[in-house]
Structure 1
Amino acid sequence: MRSSPRRHRSYWAFIGHRISGIALALFLPLHFLVLGLALEGAAELNRFLVLADTPLFKVAEWGLVVLLTIHLFFGLRLLALELLPWRDGAREGWITAGIGAAVVAGGAFLLGAF
């Protein structure tokens, strides 16, 4: 009996890359909204910055850093699959490196955020 392709780590790396990309695309309008506040004046921007200094926003920023890192490394993995020669087992190493980099980047962000 063959195992399902959905149980393979590469499939979950694909899902991680796709979900992080969608989440980042959903974040962009909010980012542009905040940039627009800066154009409206210092008072509007300062009100938002006070709100952004709350723990809930810090956790959301941490999630954004982790999503960015996952999307970056899993995207690099896809580029490596397309552009570099294939070697058995090397492809799954990129998955572990991507997850590890996301954990490190998220931890570094938490250390600086609080």
Structure 2
Amino acid sequence: MIRPHRKHPLWLAYAAHRVSGLGLALFLPAHFHVLSLAITRPKDLDTFLSFAEAPLVKLAEFGLVFLLAIHFFGGLRLLALEFLPWSGRQKNLAAATVAGAFLVSGLFFLRAI
């Protein structure tokens, strides 16, 4: 049974912020490994960069930018909760957060393909 508070849009914003943070944290070691290839094994980096041109990788990049945008806008939402007076518009701001994240990652995706 779903608890009533978990149906609230702001709980969904909370969950999206936590999941996006976890996704970014899981991505970082792979990112640092690829960056280290530039110093330690440049030929392997070239191989990886040619692999990175694949459409599936471009789609994964869209997902990564979406996670980053969700986390960024979710962080702004949390700052607003901390420092701005509470208002009834917070549900709309949470929806705008998702829309803004989708817009940013969608524009990145369109430029990447």
Partner of 1:36: 36
Contact 2:17 2:75 in 1 (8 A): yes
In structure 2, the residue matched to 1:20 is: 20
TM-superposed deviation, 1:99: 0.9
CA distance in 2 between counterparts of 1:103 and 1:29 reads 24
List gaps (5 residues or longer) in structure 2: none
Between the aligned partners of 2:109 and 2:61, the Cα distance in structure 1 is: 9
What is the identity, as a one-letter code, of the residue corresponding to 2:77? R
Contact 1:73 1:94 in 2 (8 A): no
* TM-score, normalization by structure 1: 0.91
- Runs of at least 5 residues in structure 1 that lack an aligned partner in the other structure: none
- C-alpha distance in 2 between matches for 1:6 and 1:36: 41
Shift, 1:60, TM fit? 0.7
Count of paired positions? 111
Contact 1:69 1:105 (8 Å CA) reproduced: yes
What is the deviation of 1:105? Answer: 1.2
The superposition leaves residues 9-48 of structure 1 with CA deviations (integer Å, 9 ceiling, x where unpaired) of 0000000000000000000000000011001243221111
- The residue aligned with 1:100 is 99
| Corresponding residue SS for 2:64 | helix
The residue identity in structure 1 corresponding to 2:111 is: G
- What amino acid does structure 1 have at the position aligned with 2:7? R
Structure 1 Cα separation of the partners of residues 42 and 78 of structure 2 = 42
TM-score by length of 2: 0.92
Q: Distance in 1 between matches of 2:42 and 2:85?
A: 52
In 2, Cα distance between equivalents of 1:29 and 1:42: 18
Give me the whole-angstrom Cα distance separating, in 1, the residues matched to 2:62 and 2:30: 16
Q: Which residue of 2 aligns with 1:57?
A: 57
Off by >6 Å, runs of 4+ in structure 1: none
Q: Name 1:67's counterpart in structure 2.
A: 67
Q: What amino acid sits opposite 2:39 in the alignment?
A: L
Identity %: 49
